[in-house]
Structure 1
Amino acid sequence: MYHKEFFVFDGDKPMKAIIRNYTESDFSSLIEIQRECFPLPFPPDLLWNTEQLSNHITHFLDGALCIEIEGTLAGSMTGLLIDLENDDRDHTWAEITDNGYIRTHNPKGNTLYVVDISVRPPYRKLGIGKWLMLSMYDVVIQHGLTRLLGGGRMPGYHKKAEEMSPQAYLEAVIKGKLKDPVITFLLRCGRTPVRVAANYLDDVESCHYGALMEWRNPFKLL
């Protein structure tokens, strides 16, 4: 079981934080967090349901993390293990994650694949999304995996789609010429881009593209 206690700061005020594995008693709060984090036009059928959450804790409990701030559930992150050597192989979020049900989880996989990360909007200024990501890096190291991999949304891309390709948009974000709510956050968490994936997710804001981004286990040779 994963359990980490520390403090986050709201300005100069320290607030107690706990990152732990989520359990069945957290399901209703996790579903509400998803509703807050992904309002319309994000497809409602992509939000968590109880069957998916049950599968998360059954198939890969180590990859089912949540964070409490002063006793209130403020966010979560979920992953599964896959065996993926060729990053050129096209895949969608739905294919890799089994539409979030993670029956595709492979206990002998070499890669921790991010299914989701969600932080309640009022808590985002506390930096807890980055804490969740760092904690999932702990899981990568604990299991001796090669890396963490996942497809990041590019929600700012629809504003630039008529001006540039998705790859050019990603490169502009990497160079600091543009800022994207998700991709910039992932860069700040230590993730590095692998490539752009077309038709990755049913996401109008991203024009259905995703940016595959990884974090390599520093204790594993390339």
Structure 2
Amino acid sequence: MSSFYVLDSDSVSIRQTAVADIPEIVKLQEESFADLAKIGNIWHPDELKSHLNIFPEGQLVAELEGKIVGSATSLIIQLSPVYADHTWNGITGNGMLTTHFPAGDSLYGADISTHPRVRHRGIGHKLYQGRKDIAMRMNLKRMIGGGRLYNYCEYSEKLSPLEYAIKVVECNVHDLVLSFDLINGFNFIKILSNYLDDARSLNYASFIEWINPHYRQSLK
């Protein structure tokens, strides 16, 4: 559809999510994550409303010509130890963000999506930059997340999840999610098992981390 065609990302604006955006975000989720939508693993209106009630500053949308073409959901947490194992349901309060901890030191990326018709045009990068801006503005130490190993299902008979992730880090294999995270300045930390019910990743995710270069210890 021509209304989704983008020559560059300059015409895309990133702003805070509003309640009126919820129906479009649900539709975006259905089209961005068709595989997860089949099993109900996408945002539902009650969850999105909860996000806005709990942490409105952490919710972003990408807008193009009046249409929502991307979204990002975040919350603040404090892990102990800093690289503790966790699951998506556990860290997000089963998607409601009730685990949001304003006094925490880490912005957690619970979800990021771009419409399939506008991928690879810088929109995801802009959403990540929006998250980084939040982390810097709120003087958070880092941004972390669990990215599903999207293409691992194609390599699982030959490689362990860690071996697969290392090959992605070394640019010997491309992964739709982890490769994108690495390009956006994240470091791969370790593998998270049983992270999310997902046939493509076989439930494995990569623990990723971006350190805020402007973090000021004295203010925390």
Look up the match of 1:180.
175
Is contact 1:19-1:68 (8 Å) kept? yes
* Superposition map of 1:1-222 within 5 A: 10-11=6-7, 16-40=11-35, 43-220=38-215
Tell me the amino acid that sits aligned with residue 39 of structure 1: A
Q: CA 1:41–1:55 in 2, change beyond 3 Å: closer, same or farther?
A: closer
1:70 and 1:92 map into 2 onto residues whose CA distance is 36
CA contact (8 A) 1:15 1:69 kept: no
Which residue is 1:3 aligned to? none
Deviation at 1:53, TM superposition (A): 0.5
* Aligned 8 A contact 1:42 1:204 in 2: no
Q: Once the 2 structures are TM-superposed, how far is the Cα of residue 171 of structure 1 from its aligned partner?
A: 0.3
Take 2:102 and 2:36, find their aligned partners in 1: how far apart are those partners?
35
Could you tell me how far 1:126 is from its partner in structure 2? 1.7
Q: Quick one: structure 1 residues 14 and 124, their matched pair in 2 at CA, closer, same or farther if it must change by over 3 Å?
A: closer
| Aligned pairs, number | 213
| 1:77 positional shift | 0.2
TM-superposed CA distance for 1:15, in Å, is: 5.2
Contact 1:68 1:74 in 2 (8 A): yes
Runs of 4+ in 1 over 6 A off after TM superposition: none
Q: Residue 28 of structure 1: CA displacement?
A: 0.5
Supply the distance in 2 between the matched residues of 1:221 and 1:58 (Cα, whole angstroms).
Answer: 28
TM-score normalised by the chain length of structure 2: 0.92
Q: How far, CA to CA, are the matches of 1:51 and 1:142 in structure 2?
A: 28
CA root-mean-square deviation: 1.7
Contact 1:10 1:125 in 2 (8 A): no
| Local SS of the residue matching 2:98 | coil
The alignment-based identity, stated in percent, is 34
Gaps of 5+ in 1: 1-8
Kindly provide the amino acid, as one letter, of the partner of residue 177 in structure 1.
N
| Structure 2 residue identity aligned to 1:200 | Y
**Matches of 1:197 and 1:77 in 2, distance apart?**
21
Residue 205 of structure 1 aligns to a residue whose secondary structure is coil
Contact 2:60 2:71 in 1 (8 A): yes
Gaps of 5+ in 2: none
| Structure number with higher strand proportion | 1
Residues in 2 aligned to 1:197 and 1:101: alpha-carbon distance in whole angstroms = 21
CA displacement 1:49-77 (0-9 Å, x = unmatched): 11111111111111100010122110100
Q: Is the 8 A contact 1:43 1:203 kept in 2?
A: no
1:84 offset after TM fit, Å? 1.3
Q: Give, in whole Å, the separation in 1 of the partners of 2:208 and 2:122.
A: 20
**How far is 1:40 from its partner?**
2.6
Kept in 1: contact 2:61–2:71 (CA 8 A): yes
TM-score using structure 1 length: 0.91
